[in-house]
Structure 1
Amino acid sequence: MDQQNRMTGGDALVQSLIQHGVDTLFGIPGVQTYSLFDALHRNEEHIKVITPRHEQTTAYMALGYAKSTGRIGTFSVVPGPGILNAAAAICTAHGVSAPILGITGQVPSDFIGSGKGHLHELPDQLATMRSITKWAARIEHPGQVPEIMDDAFRQLQTGRPRPVVVEMPWDVFTASAPIPPAHPAAASPQIEPDPDLIAKAAALLKDARNPMIMVGSGAQHAAAEVQALAEQLQAPVVSWRGGRGIVADDHSLGFTCASGFKRWAETDAVIGIGSRLELLWFRWPRLGKHRALINIDIDPVQMTRLKPTVGLVGDSARTCRELLEKVRSLGIVHSSRQAEFSALKQQTHEEIAAITPHVQYLSAIREVLPRDGFFVEEVCQTGFTSFFGFPVYAPRTFVTAGHQGTLGFGFPTALGVKAGNPDKCVVSITGDGGFLFGLQDLITAVQHGINLVTVVFNNNAYGNVRRDQQRLFQGRVIGSELQNPDFIKLAESFGVAGYRVDTPAGLRSTLEKAFALDAPALIEVPLDRSTETSPWPFLMPTPNPA
């Protein structure tokens, strides 16, 4: 074979990343991956390397990059404690169906499975990764790189997007061998929706008078198709976390979970699109009414979880198009309900204003954040309120931890969102507890010019835990009250502009100033716990008394 094709494992892996279109890698080098990072250095015109200050942040940044851009996010850490530090973000990526690629090392080949205690050795790292990813594999020889990496990218682009991890032993990264030519494979063909089931679903909709559509992150790329189907049926499109922005909240058919619940009692058919349908099976009471369920999802396993009336396995955009064509062919059309739905949404808007001060602060952010700007939530009272209290106008612009509810997710993920969208405004909201999980990466923002604006809502507590302890355990509170640093001095010590505001108007004007800086900024909002109103009545609603 031509000697020009001879490469180290590290060089071959970097060439594969370039051939598959990777332009950014979030990573921290270590002894097992030195050869990989040296190859990255020699190819820095093709792949930008961003180095955070914690291994968990590498994967969170890849997650934020992937969810906001729709492209694959890539990270690299050392094996053992490195990949385990990244595991919380990998779990979150699995939960929110994010296509992220993890590259890690392994002990030298001769030591794998020996239990001798080589540096960073895990009992079975590959099995551990397979338990929290869609797919994981080991590259045991440099010559395997093209084939295994092609397979990794095929997994990332086929079916339900979820994380994959590739590991390479220490010695394979540095070993040199002839490398076969790469043949990047296209994604495997997606499952085509069954035309008979499309017809059956359309027939169900012919008898429905009050259909409702529920969307999740699996419909983010299908916004136009979802809206067209909704307009044909005059069906409210209810979003829950991952589905925010698929139909804009200022469209008459764009409903939050709070406004959607007001239509639940009358709903006689539900179309779930790219969603786990958590509202249906967990959060909303059944109200004793039978509802036909049409479930559209790329993941066949989803059809075994809720057992829909009609299960349509396929890509959400294509399946919506075909269902719409069938609906139209049957002459199913509903007259406009714009006036009715707009009035209902206005009523909901007035009711959620009682969730003080969180709705008011979210309104201030919305007034300043451009329509196509990105909002990254976090596990805090304002974050929970944002599920229904923050208007979202475009797909992918509301980034969430989904059902994992990962404390500490928000700030590092928002760094990845901003890295992937440097010309867009990005705001991260976080509580004081969650922010301290990753505050060291303020310096990452400074070093790499990631001009993120972070808003820290500080109630000196793990607020939800404290409220539950008071409610459930006769007021006994333990481990949920926090002593915090001076966040402004902390930000300034990193070279980050720091501000403190205590009113929505103050947040509005300070956000404008922070965005104009075009530099990393932190805004602290102190909160009085005694004045906070819980958002949970809108997240776990109960029927109104008859």
Structure 2
Amino acid sequence: PYTPVESHPGKSQIATFDEMLRNARRPMVILGGTRWDEKTVSDFQDFASRFKLPVGCSFRRQMLFDHLHPSYAGDVGIGINPALAHEIKDSDLLILIGARMSEMPSSSYTLLDIPYPKQTLVHVYPDPEELGRMYRPDLAICAAPAEFVAAIKELQPPALPLWTERKSSMHDSYLKWSTPPKSGPGDVHMGPIMAWIEENVPIDAIFTNGAGNYATWVHRYHRFRKYNTQSAPTSGSMGYGLPAAVAAKQLFPDREVVCFAGDGCFMMHGQEFITAVRYGLPIITVLVNNGIYGTIRMHQEREYPGRISATDLVNPDFVAYAQAFGGHGELVEKTEDFGPAYLRARESGKPAIIEVRLDPEAITPAKTLTQIRNRN
């Protein structure tokens, strides 16, 4: 197999990094990208604990840090917590490890100035062509996360880090931000459903999803605890979740695999459900059906209120669809029906689809479709 040639940080670079960190008053770390492994994730978590550093995770890379760790500040992706966005902008030392800070995690390039960020920037990335291409770092280190984290393990923290209180405040803000709402439009409320999932799904379960507004419920309200528990497209490709779940269950047969999909997203690659049936892979698909291409409809209503085009969907009977393929199907039309439906899907031992009939008004956790349409 192909083995990448790794580069390693120089001693002078680590010494400079150490000095920059000691001189900081409002540091912030953002983790992202690939080339991580379980040991590197654990070692960096230990480093963050010793230095009491606030840590965020880039778009759809939330599995890189335990969300209930006191250093966790939140996900740096679509629909970022405004308080976290403010802290990133206000930081005096921003440390990017493995992350590129492209359009989605940078909130359309608004969190950092281009090409010279206001924050002192340390950028750790394994490709030298990326370093300085968008942002000009004060310290550029060409290394994969594993090599960088190994190099900083022996650094010693200040006796009393100046940012400890700020770190605690950011974690408290994250916990509040990631607490799901208790109600919403219609008879099915995703907030209580997410709360049920948090209480009843193992912490090593693998969550997959594609692209769409439905994914907000996973990214904002599921608290990832362990490495290798997330598979989602940073490119924003629809239809990713189901084939990703099939692959994840094949790789980790003893772990629960939960695929989140919208109705439009599912129909991009819904035929892959037969692959799960063929190979006996009991994935559980939570199919959030609001009868529309939700994200596109939201943009249409925001930019051209009332002038919608090609975003209404005519869907199959998803319960019958699952059964026709030889799987298990469930329909949820009331919030309280979700828990029992999920347990039956799990106990069936088959690939399962749980169709959740969601009111299209519940387009985001914060605003309804009507509110977006009438914003002016």
1:355–1:477 Cα change, 3 Å: farther
1:220–1:456 Cα change, 3 Å: same
Counterpart Cα distance in 2 of 1:355 and 1:379 = 24
Moved more, 511-520 or 449-458: 511-520
Question: Corresponding residue for 2:10?
Answer: 194
Give yes or no for the alignment of 1:515 onto 2:346: yes
Query: 2:60·2:219 contact (CA, 8 Å) conserved in 1?
Result: no
**CA deviations over 1:67-105 (Å, ceiling 9, x no partner):** xxxxxxxxxxxxxxxxxxxxxxxxxxxxxxxxxxxxxxx
Superposition deviation, residue 533 in structure 1: 2.7
Query: 2:330·2:345 contact (CA, 8 Å) conserved in 1?
Result: no
Superposition deviation, residue 418 in structure 1: 0.8
Residue type of the alignment partner of 2:98:
G
Question: Corresponding residue for 2:74?
Answer: 256
Query: 2:206·2:258 contact (CA, 8 Å) conserved in 1?
Result: yes
1:534–1:371 Cα change, 3 Å: closer
1:434–1:344 Cα change, 3 Å: closer
Residue type of the alignment partner of 1:390:
H
Counterpart Cα distance in 1 of 2:259 and 2:178 = 23
**CA deviations over 1:138-195 (Å, ceiling 9, x no partner):** xxxxxxxxxxxxxxx22xx31xxxxxxxxxxxxxxxxxxxxxxxxxxxxx4x112122
Question: Corresponding residue for 1:497?
Answer: 328
Question: Corresponding residue for 1:220?
Answer: 36
Structure 1 residue corresponding to 2:193, chosen from 351, 361, 380: 361
Query: 2:284·2:346 contact (CA, 8 Å) conserved in 1?
Result: yes
The runs of 5 or more residues in structure 1 that have no matched partner are 1-152, 159-187, 537-546
Question: Corresponding residue for 2:303?
Answer: 472
Superposition deviation, residue 297 in structure 1: 1.5
Give yes or no for the alignment of 1:463 onto 2:294: yes
Question: Corresponding residue for 1:386?
Answer: 218
The runs of 5 or more residues in structure 2 that have no matched partner are 76-80, 368-376
Give yes or no for the alignment of 1:290 onto 2:118: yes
* Secondary structure, counterpart of 2:43 in structure 1: helix
Counterpart Cα distance in 2 of 1:211 and 1:426 = 35
Question: Corresponding residue for 1:22?
Answer: none
Counterpart Cα distance in 1 of 2:97 and 2:183 = 29
If the length of structure 2 is used for normalisation, what is the TM-score?
0.84
Query: 1:225·1:317 contact (CA, 8 Å) conserved in 2?
Result: no
**RMSD in angstroms over aligned alpha carbons?**
2.7
Question: Corresponding residue for 2:101?
Answer: 277
Counterpart Cα distance in 1 of 2:342 and 2:255 = 14
Which aligned pairs between 1:103-114 and structure 2 lie closer than 5 A?
Answer: none
Superposition deviation, residue 523 in structure 1: 0.4
Give yes or no for the alignment of 1:398 onto 2:230: yes
Counterpart Cα distance in 1 of 2:194 and 2:88 = 26
Superposition deviation, residue 212 in structure 1: 0.8
1:299–1:192 Cα change, 3 Å: same
Give yes or no for the alignment of 1:300 onto 2:118: no
Counterpart Cα distance in 1 of 2:168 and 2:136 = 35
Which aligned pairs between 1:71-150 and structure 2 lie closer than 5 A?
Answer: none
* Secondary structure, counterpart of 1:443 in structure 2: helix
Question: Corresponding residue for 1:232?
Answer: 50
Residue type of the alignment partner of 2:97:
I
Give yes or no for the alignment of 1:530 onto 2:358: no
Counterpart Cα distance in 1 of 2:109 and 2:12 = 32
Moved more, 224-233 or 277-286: 277-286
Query: 1:218·1:297 contact (CA, 8 Å) conserved in 2?
Result: no
Superposition deviation, residue 229 in structure 1: 2.5
Counterpart Cα distance in 2 of 1:355 and 1:196 = 54
Superposition deviation, residue 487 in structure 1: 0.9
Superposition deviation, residue 486 in structure 1: 1.0
Question: Corresponding residue for 1:205?
Answer: 21
Residue type of the alignment partner of 2:101:
L
Question: Corresponding residue for 2:176?
Answer: 347
Query: 1:381·1:535 contact (CA, 8 Å) conserved in 2?
Result: no
Residue type of the alignment partner of 1:366:
E
1:434–1:315 Cα change, 3 Å: same
Percentage of identical aligned residues: 23
Question: Corresponding residue for 1:325?
Answer: 154
Superposition deviation, residue 456 in structure 1: 0.8
Counterpart Cα distance in 2 of 1:533 and 1:315 = 36
**CA deviations over 1:457-503 (Å, ceiling 9, x no partner):** 11111111111112112321111111111111111111111100134
Query: 2:25·2:163 contact (CA, 8 Å) conserved in 1?
Result: no
Query: 2:9·2:143 contact (CA, 8 Å) conserved in 1?
Result: yes
Counterpart Cα distance in 1 of 2:201 and 2:29 = 28
Structure 2 residue corresponding to 1:421, chosen from 227, 246, 252: 252
**CA deviations over 1:110-165 (Å, ceiling 9, x no partner):** xxxxxxxxxxxxxxxxxxxxxxxxxxxxxxxxxxxxxxxxxxx22xx31xxxxxxx
Query: 1:212·1:235 contact (CA, 8 Å) conserved in 2?
Result: yes
Query: 1:218·1:273 contact (CA, 8 Å) conserved in 2?
Result: no
Moved more, 497-506 or 428-437: 497-506
Residue type of the alignment partner of 1:453:
I
Question: Corresponding residue for 2:92?
Answer: 268
Query: 1:238·1:256 contact (CA, 8 Å) conserved in 2?
Result: yes
Counterpart Cα distance in 1 of 2:173 and 2:271 = 44
If the length of structure 1 is used for normalisation, what is the TM-score?
0.59
Residue type of the alignment partner of 2:125:
D
Counterpart Cα distance in 2 of 1:527 and 1:415 = 25
Query: 1:461·1:482 contact (CA, 8 Å) conserved in 2?
Result: yes
Moved more, 421-430 or 306-315: 306-315
1:375–1:311 Cα change, 3 Å: same
Counterpart Cα distance in 1 of 2:160 and 2:145 = 20
Superposition deviation, residue 444 in structure 1: 1.7
Query: 1:226·1:317 contact (CA, 8 Å) conserved in 2?
Result: no
Question: Corresponding residue for 1:375?
Answer: 207
Counterpart Cα distance in 1 of 2:69 and 2:152 = 22
The structure number with the bigger radius of gyration is: 1
Question: Corresponding residue for 1:410?
Answer: 241
* Secondary structure, counterpart of 2:9 in structure 1: coil
1:276–1:354 Cα change, 3 Å: farther
Residue type of the alignment partner of 1:518:
G
Report how many residues are paired: 350
